[in-house]
């Protein structure tokens, strides 16, 4: 096992991944791609930007595995996560109900009160489910040999990644849901954990990793253009171009692992840089919970579509700048949330909830043990 020293490169990747998710959302949900004319320079630029950023969600789960394999499991973490998600879910709903009376339906209120079990945030629902398996996954990752872990990793890639991607009917059978599932986050956690245990980063040069990331991204981009063009000629409509553009794509997975390995090797020496990275990394979850809240998400739809009328360079700069502003605004709100939780003693409350839950589990165990 590796040391528990803080890896600021991984912290930086957590923040960069969230920024990439913002860019991805502004390009797709912001309707830049939808507004661009097919095969125009804006269309090509926006799709390439999307391809580059698509691995960010996989990065998040892989980071959890890379870091989590060296940590002990605590129930407090689940309770703390639930409180944070509920804070934003209910808080933002209340704000919208005040600003626009009657705009929040009963169903939206129900989802806001129980966001994780109602799938209000698909990632948090899947992530919460994944966390329940962390003790078992960590035990396997820390006790299996490197050889066994390597065999397991290759098998996962072929059976649960490559095969479903090439034969889409298998996706439903495996329950991967194109990556929008607990099962896929479990797979990514294991990938991150295996990368840590096998110390893969030290065996590869950064330049080689960067080159591989570029080649993989170009392949994904070109495969979309080729498949779209072929389907347009054969079927008379664009179909199948996104075959390799989803969270379970072997090339998107490859890009996520490459970024994980590259950033894990970054050494931060400056104390100011460390403080800045710690700040933006700690706010990443809040950035996500704010901007993908259903009521906020509705407001973001088409918000950057005007960028499609700009030149590819100006369009790209506009999207990147808008993502940076959104990240900053959400980070400030998240920092305030952290201060509020600290003032209210939410961490202490979660510790008490953990003790009560463990006591209940011990009582249950005492009743059933032989």
pLDDT in tens, 305-315: 898 899 999 99
Tell me the average pLDDT across 247-265. 93
Lowest mean pLDDT among 137-151, 172-186, 267-281: 172-186
Beta strands in the chain (DSSP E): none
Between CA 291 and CA 202, with CA 56 as vertex, the angle to 5 degrees is 145
Residue 368: band (very low, low, confident or very high) from pLDDT cuts 50, 70, 90: confident
User: What is the per-residue pLDDT for 2?
Assistant: 42
- For 89, half-sphere exposure in the C-beta direction (CA atoms, 13 angstrom radius) is 23
User: What is the per-residue pLDDT for 228?
Assistant: 87
User: What is the per-residue pLDDT for 89?
Assistant: 95
User: What is the per-residue pLDDT for 71?
Assistant: 84
Lowest mean pLDDT among 7-11, 301-305, 314-318, 344-348: 301-305
Question: Can you tell me the distance from the alpha carbon of 328 to that of 325, in angstroms, rounded to the nearest whole number?
Answer: 5
Instruction: Kindly give the residue spans of alpha helices, DSSP state H, lying in 236-311.
Output: 250-264, 271-282, 284-291, 294-300
Residue 260 in this model has a pLDDT that exceeds 80: yes
Tell me the average pLDDT across 119-147. 93
Give the burial class of 195: count Cβ atoms within 10 A of its Cβ; 0-12 exposed, 13-18 middle, 19 or more buried.
Answer: buried
How many CB atoms lie under 10 A from the CB of residue 154? Answer: 10
Tell me the average pLDDT across 252-275. 93
User: What is the per-residue pLDDT for 173?
Assistant: 57
User: What is the per-residue pLDDT for 277?
Assistant: 93
Closest CA to 89 of 293, 302, 339, 314: 293
Tell me the average pLDDT across 211-228. 93
User: What is the per-residue pLDDT for 133?
Assistant: 94
Are 128 and 81 spatial neighbours (Cβ–Cβ below 8 Å)? Answer: yes
DSSP structure class, residue 117: T
Lowest mean pLDDT among 122-131, 170-179, 287-296: 170-179
- The better pLDDT of the pair 305, 287 is held by 287
Tell me the average pLDDT across 297-325. 92
User: What is the per-residue pLDDT for 107?
Assistant: 86
Residue 174 in this model has a pLDDT that exceeds 90: no
User: What is the per-residue pLDDT for 172?
Assistant: 58
User: What is the per-residue pLDDT for 1?
Assistant: 39
Supply the pTM of this predicted model: 0.93
User: What is the per-residue pLDDT for 254?
Assistant: 94
Residue 225: band (very low, low, confident or very high) from pLDDT cuts 50, 70, 90: very high
Tell me the average pLDDT across 163-191. 79
């Amino acid at each position: 096992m590796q040391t528990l020293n803080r890896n600021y490169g991984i912290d930086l990747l957590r923040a960069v991944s969230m920024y990439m998710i913002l860019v991805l959302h502004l390009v797709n949900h912001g309707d830049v791609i939808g507004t661009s004319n097919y095969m125009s320079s804006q269309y090509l630029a926006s799709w390439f930007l999307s391809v580059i950023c698509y691995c960010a969600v996989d990065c998040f789960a892989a980071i959890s595995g890379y870091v989590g394999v060296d940590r002990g499991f605590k129930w407090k973490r689940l309770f703390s996560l639930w409180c944070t998600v509920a804070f934003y879910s209910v808080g933002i709903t209340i704000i919208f109900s005040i600003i626009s009376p009657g705009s929040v339906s009963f169903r939206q209120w129900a989802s806001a009160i129980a966001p994780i079990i109602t799938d209000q945030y698909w990632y948090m629902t899947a992530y919460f489910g994944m966390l329940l398996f962390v003790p078992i996954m960590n035990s396997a990752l820390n006790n299996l040999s490197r050889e066994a872990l390597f065999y397991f990793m290759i098998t996962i890639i072929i059976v649960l990644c490559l095969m479903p991607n090439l034969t889409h009917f298998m996706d439903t059978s495996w329950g991967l849901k194109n990556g929008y599932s607990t099962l896929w986050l479990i797979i990514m956690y294991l990938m991150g954990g295996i990368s840590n245990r096998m110390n893969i980063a030290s065996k590869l040069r950064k330049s080689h990793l960067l080159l591989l990331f570029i080649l993989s991204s170009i392949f994904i981009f070109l495969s979309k253009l080729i498949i779209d063009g072929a389907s347009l000629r054969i079927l008379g409509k664009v179909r199948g171009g996104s075959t390799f553009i989803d969270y379970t794509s072997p090339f998107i997975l490859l890009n996520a692992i490459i970024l994980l390995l590259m950033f894990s090797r970054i050494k931060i020496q400056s104390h100011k840089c460390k403080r800045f990275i710690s700040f933006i990394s700690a706010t990443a979850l809040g950035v996500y919970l704010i901007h993908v809240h259903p009521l906020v998400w509705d407001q973001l739809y088409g918000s950057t579509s005007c960028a499609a009328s700009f030149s590819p360079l100006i369009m790209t700069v506009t999207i990147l700048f808008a993502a940076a502003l959104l990240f900053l605004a959400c980070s400030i709100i998240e920092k305030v949330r952290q201060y509020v939780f600290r003032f209210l003693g939410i961490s202490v409350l979660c510790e008490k909830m953990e003790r009560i839950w463990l006591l209940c589990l011990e009582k249950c165990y005492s009743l059933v043990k032989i």
